Structure 1
Amino acid sequence: MESDPREGSSVETTAEPAVLRIVREPTVYLVGRQVVDDDVVRQFLQDHEASWETDTEVGAERLIEAAGRVCYMSFGLGRKTNAEYIGHLVSVGHGSVLEHAVWNLIIAGVSRSFTHELIRHRAGFGYSQLSQRYVDESTADFVEPDVIADDTELHAIWMDAVQKTQEAYRKLVEGLTRKYADVKDRTLRRKLARQAARSVLPNATETKIFVTANARALRHFIEMRASEHAELEIRKVAAQVLRLMQIEAPNVFGDYKLVPLDDGTEAAETPHRKV
């Protein structure tokens, strides 16, 4: 029976068994950024008998500079390029103004163990994650750690475990759906079945998460997670985030560099930590 696609599945029962799909690399999508209302900025400057021009068209970089200049009403003083201005803010640790620059990201191809680590970053972050209560996970992808994937014997053990848990999930959903047959609301019936059945799904289950974060929070995330001491999966994501942000807002993230590690991955370094 067909259903509203907003309910997370197009069929009443779980999907037929399919080839197990394995994910090895995460993907980060930059989906949102800020814009500046130039007319209102000009009105503010006019109202306060100030003038200001900057040399960047990047909304986040302009907002950071504007915030810094509001702190001291220094719009007409010590003119610098935007890169020089933000560079000075970063070098002296005036990090609060970085909080006014905000971006939206979607991170996919990651495990639920990754998101458990990610959401520990609270200040300056907002999250919306795929719901296993609403989404049928009977054909979910799974994220395999490199250290297991690169070993034939370990890979076989891992594959066997994942396949068994996925099959257990399917059977549980089907059994629980029958158990809740007297629940008339189809969406509620599915939710009740899936929220119980998901208890057998492993940390390796692939998920997607929408993330909103400001520049200061992202810098902290990069420093903590694009580190040789961080777990490999989150380190990969942090490196991707840094690359995206260096293209998006080079004046804010240009002080970082990625250096190769012995295991073939990368770590981020900057002379300006904990801004």
Structure 2
Amino acid sequence: MQFHQEENGLKAELLTYTSLEGIEKNFPDLPWRNYLPHLSYTFAVEKISRACSHQLVRHRVASFSQQSQRYITIKNLDKKVVTPPTIGENEGFNNLIEQASDAYQRLVDQGAPKEDARFVLPNAAETSLLMTMDGASLMHFLGLRTCNRAQWEIRSLADSMLEQLREGEPRVFNNAGPYCYQLNYCPEGRFTCGKMDEAVERYSV
């Protein structure tokens, strides 16, 4: 599959996955959900913010390999940040990013180790990573992160991943989406977004 490009610039590519059909040949007649823990999916993710990657690694039943700020010199930070849509071309935000970039470069030029100079880098700094999840963990991830209440960047990432998963393994992932879509009720209780019908319609196949 080719990279899926989102409006905010992030890229996610489904690199490899375990075929449901392959497992079914050896162990037929089980409900498809029984196979989920034995299915594996690996994504290459690019141009997400460090803030987004911090949310990703909270999904502990997954494996991550993230670009290091300890060994890689960060150049042109002002061109490699993720800007929230609510901020846009805000002069104050842009000035702070520029100041952080200048401070980082000065520290490196003065001999500070990159692992120490990175302390001035913002959560907006772009990063890349590899991520592998089993099918059950991925369904849980999608249930949480495609929800209207999820933070906008990780929701955009989850939507991009889901689009590719539905292309590659529709029998499984046509059932995936926010938990209100998966369960046919909203489990958020008093924190519900109140837009379940809209969400279910959006993710319906």
TM-score (structure 2 length as normaliser):
0.78
CA drift of 1:254 comes to 1.2
Whole-Å separation in 2 of the counterparts to 1:89 and 1:138: 47
Q: Which amino acid aligns with 2:135?
A: A
Whole-Å separation in 2 of the counterparts to 1:105 and 1:121: 14
Q: 1:103 to 1:218 in 2, by over 3 A?
A: same
Contact 2:82–2:124 (Cα < 8 Å) also in 1? yes
Structure 2 match to 1:175: 110
CA drift of 1:223 comes to 0.3
CA drift of 1:116 comes to 0.5
Q: Which amino acid aligns with 1:156?
A: E
Q: 1:105 to 1:161 in 2, by over 3 A?
A: same
CA drift of 1:246 comes to 0.2
Q: 1:28 to 1:250 in 2, by over 3 A?
A: same
Residue number among 103, 110, 121 corresponding to 2:41 in the alignment: 103
CA drift of 1:103 comes to 1.7
| Secondary structure of 1:25 counterpart | coil
Whole-Å separation in 2 of the counterparts to 1:268 and 1:108: 28
Contact 2:32–2:172 (Cα < 8 Å) also in 1? no
CA drift of 1:257 comes to 5.7
Residue number among 140, 151, 166 corresponding to 1:246 in the alignment: 166
Contact 1:63–1:100 (Cα < 8 Å) also in 2? no
| Secondary structure of 2:41 counterpart | strand
CA drift of 1:122 comes to 1.1
Residue number among 69, 81, 105 corresponding to 1:142 in the alignment: 81
Q: Which amino acid aligns with 1:111?
A: S
1:25 aligns to 2:9 (yes or no):
yes
1:165 aligns to 2:85 (yes or no):
no
| Pairs within 5 Å for 1:1-275 | 24-34=8-18, 60-66=19-25, 69=28, 88-90=31-33, 94=34, 97-123=35-61, 125-140=62-77, 141-149=80-88, 152=89, 155-177=90-112, 193-256=113-176, 269-271=181-183
| Secondary structure of 1:162 counterpart | helix
Deviation track 1:26-80 (CA, whole Å, cap 9, x = no partner) reads: 110112234xxxxxxxxxxxxxxxxxxxxxxxxx2124435753xxxx5xxxxxx
Runs of 4+, deviation exceeding 6 Å: none
Q: Which amino acid aligns with 1:100?
A: H
| Secondary structure of 2:12 counterpart | strand
Q: 1:256 to 1:32 in 2, by over 3 A?
A: closer
Whole-Å separation in 1 of the counterparts to 2:180 and 2:22: 25
Q: Which runs of 5+ in 2 are unaligned?
A: 1-6, 188-205
CA drift of 1:256 comes to 3.5
Q: Which amino acid aligns with 1:231?
A: Q
Which range is displaced more, 60-69 or 224-233?
60-69
Structure 1 match to 2:202: none
Instruction: Give aligned pairs, total.
Output: 178
Q: 1:159 to 1:137 in 2, by over 3 A?
A: same
Whole-Å separation in 1 of the counterparts to 2:95 and 2:8: 17
Deviation track 1:249-269 (CA, whole Å, cap 9, x = no partner) reads: 0011112368xxxxxxxx982
Structure 2 match to 1:186: none
| Secondary structure of 2:171 counterpart | helix
Deviation track 1:206-250 (CA, whole Å, cap 9, x = no partner) reads: 000101111111111100111111111000001111101000100
Contact 1:226–1:268 (Cα < 8 Å) also in 2? no
Whole-Å separation in 2 of the counterparts to 1:203 and 1:115: 9
Q: Which amino acid aligns with 2:82?
A: V
